[in-house]
Structure 1
Amino acid sequence: MHIEAQIQQWFDHFHKYPEVSWKEYETTNKLAEILDELGVPYRRFDDVTGLLAEIGEGEEVIAVRADIDALWQEVDGVYRANHSCGHDANISMVLGALLLIKDEKLNKRIRFIFQPAEEKGNGANAMIDRGALKGVTHLFGVHLRPIEELPFGKVSPAIHHGAAMFLEGKIKGIDAHGARPHQGKNAIDVAVAIHQALKNLYFSPFEAYSAKLTKIQAGGESANIIPGTATFSIDARAQKNEILFKMKDQIEKDLQTLAQLFDIDMEWTWEDITPGAEVSKDAAAITKQGIIDVVGEENLADEVITSGSDDFHFYTIRHPEVKAAMIGIGADLAPGLHHPNMSFNHESLVLGAKIIAKTLTNFSKKN
């Protein structure tokens, strides 16, 4: 089978059978099946999904990561797993690169990290804890980019993701009859005040940041009951890790103040924190050359700066000695990442595979 047809076949399979974070059981089984067919050794884990594969020889190790989980979202009126972030494409491109280079003479070992639970923000940490970066000097990633960032054919040597954190909270007031609001403590009033407090966060206008409510759940089936209890979620983002943690401190102060103001109890936890990118100039130079070798300098794009986040950057936060960069693939992706009906130009799959392969072989053949 031609490389183009094989990559497309892999993509079709992973797209048809999406699995959410930490439940990528059949995805992991399929990856193991493919690696067995290719004759590539790999390591699975007893307690988590995902796996590590390796080719090449030598003391030095470089690595490439593909995230394998899907989102849980409503698609055409039905809630289901859905690969609207393009992780099915990331898997297929990295497998394609493996297929292209597995029989080449390499002076370094290349480790392929097929990582679970990127969407939960903690899959990278699980792989780190299980030795994914042992001996690794350079780490590469890949991700399709929305059309407003990169059109099809253009490729970026690095993606500068922003930092993000996610809060889950509960407001505990008192229910009341709709005719007697003074007897209760309305959780919706508190939620509205939280919304306004987030709008009143101010940092330097030269910094990119945002914080917003992304979920409010209050009340039941009766329209004449004022709800005392509500749950809510906050999505906070910043381009720099420093600004994000300042936001975290201010949000907590605001929640404490509002709890006192409305005389209610409120509890919250920060469920996930995803750090901003720490891009290595050295790694980006390596990906840049790989891009030029495959598509020419005229199709080399600038490094992408995006408010989106990715747990890929935990690898370098926890191991700052590792030099890393994530390649951004232009794919005419629309309407956007995480849109339930996201689509893209599938020719980008082969393009991405060739660029990853060239990046890895260029560096792995150096003495």
Structure 2
Amino acid sequence: MIHAKIKEAIQIYSEELTQLRRQLHSEPEVSWEEFKTTQFVCEYLDKLGISYRKTEPTGVIAEIQGGKLGKTVALRGDMDALQVEELNKDLPYASKEEGKMHACGHDAHTAMLMIAAKALNEIKEELPGNVRLLFQPAEEVAEGAKALVKQGAMEGVDNVFGIHIWSQMPANKVACSPGPSFASADLFRVTFKGRGGHGAMPHACIDAAVVASSFVMNVQTVVSRTIDAQQPAVLTIGKMVVGTRFNIIAENAVIEGTVRCFHPETRDHIETQLQHYADQVAAIYGATAKVEYTRGTQAVINEEYSAKLVQKVAVESFGSDAIYNEKPTMGGEDFSEYLVQAPGSFALVGSGNPEKDTEWAHHHGKFNIDEDALATGAELYAQYAWAYLNE
């Protein structure tokens, strides 16, 4: 199932892989600003002789044409950084951009996919099909995958595979189970309108602060009292803006939050209940409510065949002890947009190592990875493509 030349190539290029990742890490670009990163990838593909096209405004779709007829498998690596200040100032490859850093591992994903492309390109005449390479922008704002799909990324693709470096897992472990992996991630805004007035005369007002506070306290029962306890869901209020001055009764209050779950029925139910709770709470106090619900990423549901193929590849490449049972996360991932177009799976590759201080949470200013995991990810990309095309 695995190709010996791929394994050998990944090992030979492991130092280059680390250098690619470090260069990307030192020059982070946030969502929709990945112009230098896009050019960096294109120049690398030029050296390899791999055909590609840039997507708008950033991103790259490339393709390795196999020497034999067959299916097309897509491999996705995201490229964007975050607006997070790097706290690892002592690293020789620390971010050079103030207030920006690769705090989620996308620099690793890009580098791993670049080296996987190099290894696959060297055996392209043996490939019974094609490998499409998706260097995706703007994952952090959940827009990049949709943009690439609209620009033809999944046309003619039979299967799609992605990887995420995961600091909560031991380095070099691989997790990919059939079923839910990442939750859907939606946003909502609730605006309450009361009647403002003097802080000394509350009887003449409708206090939006009281209305909003009541909503915050009561809306959690949507999850705890209206959803089956065996259907995981999270409803988080992350922001509340109310009032303008200490002695003025607030007329307006705005609440923003997020909803995470795995099942469409649960998602629909929570959206309906948010409107119901907002209307009823507002009515109690004589206020009004407006609810805006925006559906973000869908849940990442690994197709059974693809997930089991990942497991088989991981066992043959790295040994049976490489498989790790990681529970589904309530985090969101726009890789789900590709799974709407074709079956596939999304794997986690562990990068946590206490001895190297790489167990910090994703999106934290001290986030870093055990770079030994880079070779694991690059080989998993390439070996999966080989295995799928030969199935």
Question: What is the TM-score with the length of structure 2 in the denominator?
Answer: 0.84
Gaps of 5+ in 1: none
**1:130 pairs with 2:151:** yes
From the superposition, tell whether residues 32 and 266 of structure 1 become closer, same or farther in structure 2 (CA, over 3 Å).
Answer: farther
Q: What amino acid is aligned across from residue 44 of structure 1 in structure 2?
A: K
**1:218 pairs with 2:242:** yes
From the superposition, tell whether residues 272 and 163 of structure 1 become closer, same or farther in structure 2 (CA, over 3 Å).
Answer: same
Q: How many angstroms apart in 1 are the aligned matches of 2:81 and 2:386? A: 29
- SS where residue 229 of structure 2 aligns? coil
Q: What amino acid is aligned across from residue 218 of structure 1 in structure 2?
A: V
CA contact (8 A) 1:157 1:287 kept: yes
Q: How many angstroms apart in 2 are the aligned matches of 1:233 and 1:16? A: 33
**Which residue in 1 is equivalent to 2:60?**
51
Q: Quote how far apart the aligned CAs of 1:268 are.
A: 3.4
CA contact (8 A) 2:70 2:130 kept: yes
CA contact (8 A) 1:152 1:348 kept: yes
Q: How many angstroms apart in 2 are the aligned matches of 1:170 and 1:27? A: 39
Per-residue deviation, residues 5-57 of structure 1 (Å, max 9, x unmatched): 22112211222222222222222222222222222111113x43211011022
Q: Quote how far apart the aligned CAs of 1:108 are.
A: 0.9
**1:252 pairs with 2:275:** yes
Identity %: 27
Q: Quote how far apart the aligned CAs of 1:75 are.
A: 5.7
Deviates most, 174-183 or 279-288? 174-183
- SS where residue 140 of structure 1 aligns? strand
Q: How many angstroms apart in 1 are the aligned matches of 2:293 and 2:100? A: 24
Q: Quote how far apart the aligned CAs of 1:80 are.
A: 2.7
How many residues are treated as equivalent by the alignment? 358
From the superposition, tell whether residues 245 and 11 of structure 1 become closer, same or farther in structure 2 (CA, over 3 Å).
Answer: same
Per-residue deviation, residues 306-348 of structure 1 (Å, max 9, x unmatched): 222211112223x2xx221111101115221222322221111
**Which residue in 1 is equivalent to 2:36?**
26
From the superposition, tell whether residues 227 and 340 of structure 1 become closer, same or farther in structure 2 (CA, over 3 Å).
Answer: farther
Q: How many angstroms apart in 2 are the aligned matches of 1:350 and 1:341? A: 22
Q: How many angstroms apart in 2 are the aligned matches of 1:27 and 1:60? A: 29
Q: Quote how far apart the aligned CAs of 1:270 are.
A: 2.5
- SS where residue 305 of structure 1 aligns? coil
- SS where residue 153 of structure 2 aligns? coil
Q: How many angstroms apart in 2 are the aligned matches of 1:199 and 1:91? A: 39
The one of 285, 288, 295 aligned to 2:311: 288
**Which residue in 1 is equivalent to 2:228?**
204
- SS where residue 306 of structure 1 aligns? coil
Q: What amino acid is aligned across from residue 250 of structure 1 in structure 2?
A: Q
CA contact (8 A) 1:120 1:272 kept: no
From the superposition, tell whether residues 261 and 340 of structure 1 become closer, same or farther in structure 2 (CA, over 3 Å).
Answer: farther
Q: What amino acid is aligned across from residue 28 of structure 1 in structure 2?
A: T
**Which residue in 2 is equivalent to 1:340?**
365
**1:68 pairs with 2:79:** yes
The one of 236, 242, 261 aligned to 1:238: 261
Per-residue deviation, residues 195-253 of structure 1 (Å, max 9, x unmatched): 11221112111121110101112334x43333323332111111323212211111121
**1:355 pairs with 2:365:** no
**1:118 pairs with 2:139:** yes
Per-residue deviation, residues 175-200 of structure 1 (Å, max 9, x unmatched): 33332333433332222122112211
Q: What do you get for the CA RMSD once the two structures are aligned?
A: 2.3
Q: How many angstroms apart in 2 are the aligned matches of 1:48 and 1:108? A: 29
From the superposition, tell whether residues 168 and 67 of structure 1 become closer, same or farther in structure 2 (CA, over 3 Å).
Answer: farther
From the superposition, tell whether residues 180 and 75 of structure 1 become closer, same or farther in structure 2 (CA, over 3 Å).
Answer: farther
- SS where residue 269 of structure 2 aligns? helix
CA contact (8 A) 1:198 1:212 kept: no
Q: How many angstroms apart in 1 are the aligned matches of 2:285 and 2:63? A: 57
Q: What amino acid is aligned across from residue 82 of structure 2 in structure 1?
A: L
Deviates most, 130-139 or 174-183? 174-183
Q: Quote how far apart the aligned CAs of 1:152 are.
A: 1.4
Q: What amino acid is aligned across from residue 209 of structure 1 in structure 2?
A: A
Q: Quote how far apart the aligned CAs of 1:285 are.
A: 2.2
Q: How many angstroms apart in 2 are the aligned matches of 1:197 and 1:79? A: 40
Per-residue deviation, residues 44-90 of structure 1 (Å, max 9, x unmatched): 13x432110110223521101112222234666x9833322221121
